[in-house]
Amino acid sequence: MSALDKNALPGESFPNFTADGTWCWFSDPRALARNGTTYAGWMKSDGSVIVGAWEHATGKIITHNLHPRLERDDHDNPALIFLPDGRLAAFYSLHAKGDMRLRITTRPADISDWQPERSLGFHDPKRGRQGTTYANPVVLSDEDNALYVFWRAADFKPTFAISRDLGKTWSAPQTLVTRPGANAINRPYLKLYSDGKGRIDFVFTDGHPRNEPTNSVYYLRYEHGAFFKADGTRLGEMKDLPLDPARCDCVYSGTNDGRAWIWDIATTADGQPVIAFTRHPTEEDHRYAYARWDGKAWALSEICPAGKWFPQTPSGTKEREPHYSGGMALDHASPFTLYTSRRIEGVFEIEKWQSADAGKTWTARPVTAHSDHDNVRPFVVRNAASDGPALLWMNSEHYVHYTDYHTTIKAAGKSSVT
């Protein structure tokens, strides 16, 4: 055991944000900090949609149940964003059925009282069966605080709408990307990052790695009304949507070293995008990878082997989600730092990885070690404060499927992960 290992604690030793909380990794932000408080959203094991607030000075945690027993499914976790007046907005939905829902606090920094839940009317009968999945909200100050929300629509394509009045009314839903002739089985997965001003960076895939044997990773940027490749090539405007993925940057081709899936995207101080993704040479061989635009091309590196899937497959059954890795998350404030969950001595542990050469090579130190339960799906708190939680993750007492789980949300401060 190294000196660093001795400083790492079992996952169960870290404080709980909640003793009953689970989330997926395609609805974000899951947690963010503001004015001495960290806010996070999760699903309870009974299917309730919860938002919690952790007061840094006192350590007091309060919670509010946005929708009791909505559905037992971790896809439904709320995505949180602050509106310009300081009120907190939470977007959430059922998994592939029903409409997108929105609740907004009545007062800034106070989760004890919320406006009534509203359905946003994003269902389009022309797109087939009703359904919205995942929520990713963004506010762009350069566009007079336009509020965007992105989700997966009923036709399984990345879709968005825009509100010019902070959520009161919305534009018609618009598909962002789709390949010509794509059928309803094809479902590109999307992650995004925004500077909160005039830019949104996207990473997306051909589809689900279960269905796409050469699932690849693509990049696209929106800035001040137009869409671009990483090198600045203009691809079009809103009127030109949806965009064909073949016109966007192919960051990683799944025909090379295994089908891929995506985990996070951020930008460096000079505005260059970086992407954290997995490649899967086989279902039992997951590899954590990193891509950075160096100004001329995409530079790729492997961070580490990640082991196989993390769901606890019942004996004698075939794993339903063999592409579910333990997970990783970029530190958006320091994008050459990321956190991984990988199997070590039979248990998934959290590690901090850093690169001193812009992503070419990586070194690690453990955050958790010798845990009793798997530690998975880390998330770096957006705008984390020095006196509050900086890293959150699921400590998994039970996770067989996204509808069959009981996990806690653990928290580590900056002093524990630096």
Instruction: Tell me the three state secondary structure of residue 334.
Output: coil
Distances (CA, A) of 10 to 5, 335, 346: 10, 26, 14
Q: How much is the pLDDT for 183?
A: 85
Q: How much is the pLDDT for 128?
A: 55
Strand pairing category for 298-307 and 285-293 = antiparallel
Q: How much is the pLDDT for 113?
A: 98
Q: How much is the pLDDT for 103?
A: 98
What is the number of other CB atoms lying within 10 angstroms of the CB of residue 317?
8
Phi, psi of 150 (to 5 degrees): -110, 145
pTM score: 0.96
Q: How much is the pLDDT for 99?
A: 94
Distances (CA, A) of 24 to 43, 76, 124, 378: 9, 8, 25, 10
Q: How much is the pLDDT for 245?
A: 97
Beta bridge partner(s), residue 365:
352
Q: Which residues of the chain have pLDDT under 70?
A: 1-6, 124-130
> Torsion-angle region of residue 195: left (phi > 0), alpha (psi -120 to 50) or beta?
alpha
- Domain range summary for the chain, segments of one domain joined by +: 3-417
What number does CATH give the domain 3-417? 2.130.10.10
Instruction: Tell me the three state secondary structure of residue 401.
Output: strand
